[in-house]
Amino acid sequence: EADRLWWKEAVVYQIYPKSFDDSDGDGVGDLQGITEKVDYLDDLGVDAVWLCPVYESPQTDNGYDISDYRSIHHAYGDMDDWRDLLDALHERDIRLIMDLVVNHTSDEHEWFQQSRRREGAFEDYYIWRDGRPAEEADYDTADGPADEVAPNNWESVFGGPAWAYDEERGQWYLHLFDEEQPDLNWRNPDVRESVYEMMNWWLSQGIDGFRMDVINLISKTEGLPDGDAESGQTGAKHFVNGPNVHNYLQEMNDEVLSDDSLLTVGETPGARVGDARQYVGPDGDGLSMVFQFEHVTFDHDEHKWDAGDWSLVEFKEILSKWQNGLADDGWNSIYLNNHDQPRMVSRFGDDGEYRTESAKLLGTLTHTLQGTPFIYQGEELGMTNASFASPDDVRDVEALNFVEEAIEDGDAASYDDVRDAIEYVGRDNARTPMQWDDTENAGFTDGEPWIDCNSNYETVNVERARGDEASVWHYYRDLIELREEHDVLVYGEFDLLCPEDPDVFAYTRTLGTERGLVVLNFEPEPVEFEVPAGVALDGLELAIANADVPTTPRPSFELGPYEARVYLTP
Ligand code: TEU
C-alpha cells in the first residue's frame, strides 16, 4: 500500500491569474482579486492552489516568459499582495503551489540581456551557436545574416524555427517556445545554481511546492544534432526527456526539494509511463507526480491543430495504462483540462443539451481515479469552449502564430478556414474570464476585459451555480468531500472493467475490505451495462450519482445519457 502523504489526498485548484478576478478594473486579474475569492475556494473544499506564473513578465506568453523571478508582475500587484494571498490561503489550510518556469526566461530577463552582451558569468547562460553556411542546409530558418541559416533544423512548439538571430551578439539562440522565450543552458552549472537559489528563496517565503513547466525539456542532446524532419516536431527527440534530465532533477532534489512534504508536479509533454517512473517516486528523481499528455494529445493528428475524433476505448486504455503503471511506484496527477487545453466538457462531454450531466460525469472520473485531481478554474461550473469569430478575438501567441503560418503557407485562405481548429483546441478557450455572476463581464472586471467573456456567462456563473443544489458546482463539492471521506478513492487499487465497451467507462477500486464501483456512460443516449461476473455487489451503496438512481447496484442496469454512478462500501 502506498505511503500516506497529504498531496495524495489533496484536490488542487489551478488559477490562471490573468483571468480569475480583477480587483482594480484594469481588465486583467490580479492577486488582490484572488485573495478576495479565497473563501470561495474554501467553500468548494480544495486543499491546494496551483498559481500559474505571477512573476514580472512582458506577458508575451501570459507570464511563461519571466523577466524577474523574484518580483510580481506589476499588473498583478506586488510581494505584499502576494504575502496577503499566501496568508489568506494558509489561514484556511489551503496550500500554495507556485509555477516554476526554468526551461526558458523572457528575453527581457537581465540574464539574457547580459548574456547577449557576453557579460562575465552570463555569457553561457543560454544556448548560443554560430549559424550554418546557407548552402549546407535545407530547412526553414529565421532571418539572420544573408549567408547563414540557423544552427540546426529544430522547430519551436509554437510553430516555425526554434532559433532566432541576435544582432547584438552576432549569434543564434535556441527558443523551444516563442522567440521571446530563450532556453536556458542547463549544461552550465552556474545556471543550475541560480535556479536552485531562486527556488530555495521561494520556499523560504513559505510556499508548499512547485509545478514545473516543461521540466522534461531542459536537457538537450550534446552537439544539438539535426532532428528527423518527418517526425512531428522536428528535433523533439533531442530535447524531450533529454540525456541529462534525470541528473539535473536529482541534483535539484538534493539542493532544494529533499522535504517530501512539498508537492512537486513536473509538466512532461511526451513522457511515457517508463519515463514517469523515473521522474516520480522514491527511487526516481523525487517529483511527487507529473502531468502526462497522452490522454490529451491522442486526438491530435500530425499536429495539434488537426485534432478531431477520439474513441472511448482508446481513452480508457491510456488512462488505465497510467493507473496501473504508477500504482506501486509512483503517483498520478489527474486532469482533463488546464490553461493550455480546451474546456473538458466541450472536448470529452457535451457542452449543449447535456452540459450539466457530462460536466458532472467528467468530474466523477477525475475524482475517482487513483491520483491527485487538478480542477482548472471554471471547470467546477462546467465552463465551455468559447467562440472566436475573428482573429481580433484571439489572444494566444500559439494560436496567432498558427493563423499567420497557415495563411502564409497557403493552407488557409483566411481566418475562417482555421476558425474551427481554434475553437476546438485553441488555448484561449480556457482563458476567458472566470464567470462570477450575470452582471456585465461576468463580474470579472469593472473595466474592459483583456479577452472577451464567454457569451454564456448569464447562465453559467458562480452565483447561479451556488444557488442551485443541482449544479455542477455543488456536485464538485460533494465529490471533493467524498474523496476526503473514503480512503479507497485515494489509495485503492484501480481495475478497469469492460475495456472494449465503446460507451461505458467502468472500474473498481479496492483497499482491503473497502470497495468501490464507478460506472460512467459517455454517450448522449441510454445504454445497457452489465456488471462483469466477479465484481462483488454485496455491501455496495450509492455514494454519488448525477441522476436519480437506485441506492444499490443490480447485476445489470440502464444508464441514462452521460449518467455517472459511484457505489462504495460504507
Ligand atoms: O506548456 C508546455 C507545452 O508543451 C504545452 O502545454 C503547450 O503549451 C501546448 O500543448 C501547445 O499546444 C507550458 C505552459 O503550460 C504553457 O502555457 C506555456 O506556453 C509553455 O509551457 C511555455 O512556457
Rounded to the nearest 5°, which phi and psi values hold at 465?
-65, -40
Span 110-166, pLDDT tens digits: 999 999 999 999 999 999 999 999 998 899 999 999 999 999 999 999 989 999 999
Q: Which residue CA neighbors atom 22 of ligand 1 most closely?
A: 64
Rounded to the nearest 5°, which phi and psi values hold at 539?
85, -10
At 436 the three-state DSSP class reads coil
User: If you measure from the C-alpha of residue 64 to the centroid of ligand 1, how many angstroms do you get, rounded to a whole number?
Assistant: 9
Contact partners, residue 538, CB within 8 Å, separation at least 6: none
In angstroms, the Cα distances linking 431 to 210, 251, 296, 378, 565 are 21, 35, 17, 10, 31
Ordered structural domains, the chain, with CATH? 6-104+189-473 (3.20.20.80), 110-174 (3.90.400.10), 491-568 (2.60.40.1180)
Give the count of beta carbons closer than 10 Å to the beta carbon of residue 459.
11
Q: What's the rounded Cα separation, in Å, for the pair 174 and 156?
A: 9
User: If you measure from the C-alpha of residue 252 to the centroid of ligand 1, how many angstroms do you get, rounded to a whole number?
Assistant: 22
pLDDT of residue 329: 84
pLDDT of residue 290: 98
- Is it the case that residue 240 has pLDDT exceeding 60? yes
Contact partners, residue 355, CB within 8 Å, separation at least 6: 345, 349, 382, 384, 460
Residue 73 pLDDT class (50, 70, 90 cuts): very high
Specify the ligand 1 atom closest to the Cα of 178.
22
**Ligand 1 neighbourhood includes 177 CB (under 6 angstroms):** yes
**Ligand 1 neighbourhood includes 398 CB (under 6 angstroms):** yes
Q: Active site includes 267?
A: yes
At 22 the three-state DSSP class reads coil
pLDDT of residue 309: 86
Nearest Cα to 26, choosing from 444, 439, 452, 377?
A: 444
| Cα–Cα–Cα angle for 479, 483, 485, rounded to 5 degrees | 115
Q: Which of 156, 157, 215, 218 to mutate to test the pocket of ligand 1 (most atoms within 8 A of CB)?
A: 157
Q: What's the rounded Cα separation, in Å, for the pair 196 and 191?
A: 9
- Is it the case that residue 281 has pLDDT exceeding 80? no
- Is it the case that residue 502 has pLDDT exceeding 60? yes
Specify the ligand 1 atom closest to the Cα of 397.
19
Q: Which residue CA neighbors atom 20 of ligand 1 most closely?
A: 64
Label residues 492-509 b or e (16+ Cβ within 10 Å = b): bbbebbbeebebbbbbbb
> Which residue reads 531542459 in cell numbers?
218
**Ligand 1 neighbourhood includes 176 CB (under 6 angstroms):** no
Specify the amino acid at residue 224.
L
* Mean pLDDT taken over the chain: 97
**Ligand 1 neighbourhood includes 340 CB (under 6 angstroms):** yes
The helix-helix angle for 472-485 and 355-368 (nearest 10°) equals 20
pTM: 0.98
User: If you measure from the C-alpha of residue 567 to the centroid of ligand 1, how many angstroms do you get, rounded to a whole number?
Assistant: 37
Q: Where are the alpha helices (DSSP H) in 429-486?
A: 462-466, 472-485
pLDDT of residue 114: 98
Specify the ligand 1 atom closest to the Cα of 103.
23
Q: What's the rounded Cα separation, in Å, for the pair 128 and 245?
A: 20
Residue 303 pLDDT class (50, 70, 90 cuts): confident
**Ligand 1 neighbourhood includes 214 CB (under 6 angstroms):** yes
Q: Which residue CA neighbors atom 10 of ligand 1 most closely?
A: 340
Q: Active site includes 437?
A: no
User: If you measure from the C-alpha of residue 335 to the centroid of ligand 1, how many angstroms do you get, rounded to a whole number?
Assistant: 15
- Residues β-bridged to residue 568: 516, 541
**Ligand 1 neighbourhood includes 421 CB (under 6 angstroms):** no
User: If you measure from the C-alpha of residue 423 to the centroid of ligand 1, how many angstroms do you get, rounded to a whole number?
Assistant: 17
pLDDT of residue 365: 99
At 13 the three-state DSSP class reads strand
User: If you measure from the C-alpha of residue 269 to the centroid of ligand 1, how many angstroms do you get, rounded to a whole number?
Assistant: 9
Question: What does the DSSP assignment read for 458-470?
Answer: GTSSHHHHHT-TT
Label residues 14-33 b or e (16+ Cβ within 10 Å = b): bbbbbbbbbbeeebbbbbbb
Question: Exposed, middle or buried: residue 297 (CB in 10 Å: 0-12, 13-18, 19+)?
Answer: middle
* Radius of gyration in angstroms for the set of CA atoms belonging to the chain, rounded to a whole number: 24
Q: What's the rounded Cα separation, in Å, for the pair 181 and 104?
A: 6
Span 372-430, pLDDT tens digits: 999 999 999 999 999 999 999 999 999 999 999 999 999 999 999 999 999 999 999 99
Given the residues 213, 350, 380, 423, select the one marked as catalytic.
213
**Ligand 1 neighbourhood includes 88 CB (under 6 angstroms):** no
- Is it the case that residue 5 has pLDDT exceeding 60? yes
Q: Which of 213, 293, 300 to mutate to test the pocket of ligand 1 (most atoms within 8 A of CB)?
A: 213
| Cα–Cα–Cα angle for 424, 425, 431, rounded to 5 degrees | 105
> Are the C-beta atoms of residues 290 and 276 closer than 8 Å to each other?
yes
Given the residues 30, 148, 179, 267, select the one marked as catalytic.
267
**Ligand 1 neighbourhood includes 66 CB (under 6 angstroms):** no
> ipTM, 2 decimals?
0.97
pLDDT of residue 2: 57
Residue 1 pLDDT class (50, 70, 90 cuts): very low
**Ligand 1 neighbourhood includes 61 CB (under 6 angstroms):** yes
**Ligand 1 neighbourhood includes 178 CB (under 6 angstroms):** no
> Are the C-beta atoms of residues 103 and 184 closer than 8 Å to each other?
yes
User: If you measure from the C-alpha of residue 39 to the centroid of ligand 1, how many angstroms do you get, rounded to a whole number?
Assistant: 30
In angstroms, the Cα distances linking 556 to 477, 519, 528, 550 are 29, 11, 7, 12
User: If you measure from the C-alpha of residue 213 to the centroid of ligand 1, how many angstroms do you get, rounded to a whole number?
Assistant: 8
Q: What's the rounded Cα separation, in Å, for the pair 373 and 476?
A: 11
User: If you measure from the C-alpha of residue 471 to the centroid of ligand 1, how many angstroms do you get, rounded to a whole number?
Assistant: 31
- Is it the case that residue 454 has pLDDT exceeding 70? yes
Question: What does the DSSP assignment read for 209-272?
Answer: EEEETTGGGS---TT-PPPPTTSSSTTGGGTTT-TTHHHHHHHHIIIII--TTSEEEEE-TT--
pLDDT of residue 84: 98
CA 348 centroid distance within chain: 16
Q: 414-417: which pairs have CB atoms within 8 A and are 24 or more residues apart?
A: 415/390, 415/391
Specify the ligand 1 atom closest to the Cα of 64.
23
